[in-house]
Amino acid sequence: MHWLDQPATISDTDRAAFERDGHVTLRGLMPPQELAAIGREITRLTLDLNTEQRSLDERDTYGRAFLQVMNLWEKSPLVGRFVMGQRLARVAAQLLGVKGVRLYHDQSLYKEPNGGHTPAHADQYYWPLASDRTVTAWIPLQDVPMAMGPLGFYSGSHVVPEGRDIGISDASEEDIPAHMAALGHPYSCAPFALGDVSFHLGWTFHRAEPNTSDRPRSVMTVIFMADDIHLLDALNPIQQNDRDQWCPGVATGALADSPKNPVIWSAA
C-alpha cells in the first residue's frame, strides 16, 4: 500500500483555486481499484457500527442525510493505514500553506438510497480550534453521479462571517443558500469519479444533494488541522462534545496534540 504515502503533484492552478474558492476537487488523486478495496472495509464498518435503526421516514432532516461513524481509523488496521497515509496529508498541508498537519478526526458518511439532502453548513462551527487552518478531504468510495448526491460548495464563502453561528439544520438550509446567492457566491456541484478527492476549508459553506438513486453513496472524510493548532474555550455544548471526543485531555490554549491527533505529515 505504498501508494498511500506517494507524493501527489498539486498544480499552481489548483492551489490558486483553493485559495480563491475555499475548495478544490483533485481528479484522479487516488487509484480507483485500490481505493475501492479500502472502501469496502469502510462501508462494512459503517454499517456494522452505526446505531440508527429507524426507517428514513421516521428521521428528521439530519438523520435522513446520512449514516455517520467517526474515527474508523481506531477500529480497523486497514482503515488506520489509509487515514494515516501521507499522500492526502501532504496535499492538505500544501493547500493550507502549513509545514505539517495532524488528524482532527475521520468520519464515514453513508447516504442511503433515497436519502435526503445534507443541509448547507460550515464544519468549523463545531470545532473549538484557534485557527482556520483546517481542511476536510471528501473521498467518495464509488462514482458519485448527480443522482447520488455529490458534495457542492459555495465558492469563496470561506471569507463570509455571516452564518458561522448556524449549525446544520433546516434553518441553515433555508438561510445560507439565500445569503450566498445575495452575496454572489456561486454554488458549485459536479459528479465525482472514484479516485477524485475534494478538499474544503473549515469555513467554506457546503451542502450535498439527495441520493435519488437506488444505490448507497459511501464517502470517507478525513479532517486535517495545522500541526501547531491550539484549542479554544468551547462556545457551545456541541463544541464541548467535540473537544471531549477528538482532543481528550487537552486544556484550553494548549496544543491539540492528544493521542487521537497524531501528526500525519510534516516537512520538518
Q: Report pLDDT digits (tens) over 76-114.
A: 999 999 999 999 999 999 999 999 999 999 999 999 999
What CA–CA distance (Å, rounded) separates 268 from 263?
11
Does the pLDDT value for residue 242 go beyond 80? Answer: yes
pTM: 0.96
Amino acid identity, residue 227? D
Instruction: Look at residue 94 and tell me if it is in a domain.
Output: yes
Instruction: Look at residue 115 and tell me if it is in a domain.
Output: yes
Band of residue 235 on the pLDDT scale cut at 50, 70, 90? confident
pLDDT digits (tens, 9 = 90+) for 105-134: 999 999 999 999 999 999 999 999 999 999
Q: Cα 157–67–238 angle (5° rounding)?
A: 55
What CA–CA distance (Å, rounded) separates 111 from 83?
21
Q: 246: domain CATH number? A: 2.60.120.620
pLDDT of amino acid 102 = 98
Instruction: Look at residue 250 and tell me if it is in a domain.
Output: yes
Contacts of 253 (CB under 8 A, 6+ apart): 130, 230, 231, 232
Q: Are 70 and 36 in contact (CB under 8 A)?
A: no
pLDDT of amino acid 236 = 86
Mean of the per-residue pLDDT values of the chain: 96
pLDDT of amino acid 161 = 94
pLDDT of amino acid 213 = 97
**Which has the closest alpha carbon to 136: 123, 126, 148?**
123
What CA–CA distance (Å, rounded) separates 37 from 41?
7
Does the pLDDT value for residue 15 go beyond 80? Answer: yes
pLDDT of amino acid 200 = 98
Q: Are 188 and 72 in contact (CB under 8 A)?
A: no
pLDDT of amino acid 48 = 97
Does the pLDDT value for residue 151 go beyond 80? Answer: yes
pLDDT of amino acid 137 = 98
pLDDT of amino acid 1 = 86
Alpha helices in 22-122 (DSSP H): 32-49, 61-65, 77-83, 86-96
Domain span including residue 15? 2-261
- The DSSP 8-state label assigned to residue 117 in this structure reads P
Instruction: Look at residue 267 and tell me if it is in a domain.
Output: no
> 9-32 burial by CB neighbour count: b if 16+ within 10 A, else e?
ebeeebeebbeebbbbbbeebbee
Q: Are 245 and 167 in contact (CB under 8 A)?
A: no
Instruction: Look at residue 268 and tell me if it is in a domain.
Output: no
For residue 1 the three cell numbers come to 500500500
Place of cell 475534494: 198
Domain count within the chain: 1
pLDDT digits (tens, 9 = 90+) for 42-60: 999 999 999 999 999 999 9
